[in-house]
């Protein structure tokens, strides 16, 4: 029980920092996911390299 109490005290002590970290992590994850989805939807024409005739 003492360990649980210590964890609760740490959470209360660093509540603001924990919330900021969680928000930062969620925003970063959502941004990456949206960027990945947008990039996968765009169909780009493949680059074709042809031999130069000199």
> Measured over all CA atoms, what is the biggest interatomic distance in the chain, rounded to whole angstroms?
82
Distance, CA of 9 to chain centre: 29
Place of tokens 């996968």: 40
Q: What is the pTM of this model?
A: 0.63
pLDDT of 50 reads 87
Residue of 37, 17, 40, 19 whose CA lies nearest to 29: 37
What sign has the CA pseudo-torsion 2, 6, 19, 30? negative
pLDDT of 54 reads 64
Q: Which residues of the chain have pLDDT under 50?
A: none
pLDDT of 49 reads 86
């Amino acid at each position: 029980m003492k360990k649980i109490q210590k964890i609760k005290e740490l959470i209360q002590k660093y509540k603001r920092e924990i919330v900021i970290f969680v928000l930062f992590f969620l925003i970063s994850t959502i941004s990456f996911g949206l960027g990945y989805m947008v990039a996968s939807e765009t169909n780009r024409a493949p680059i074709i390299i042809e031999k130069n005739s000199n």
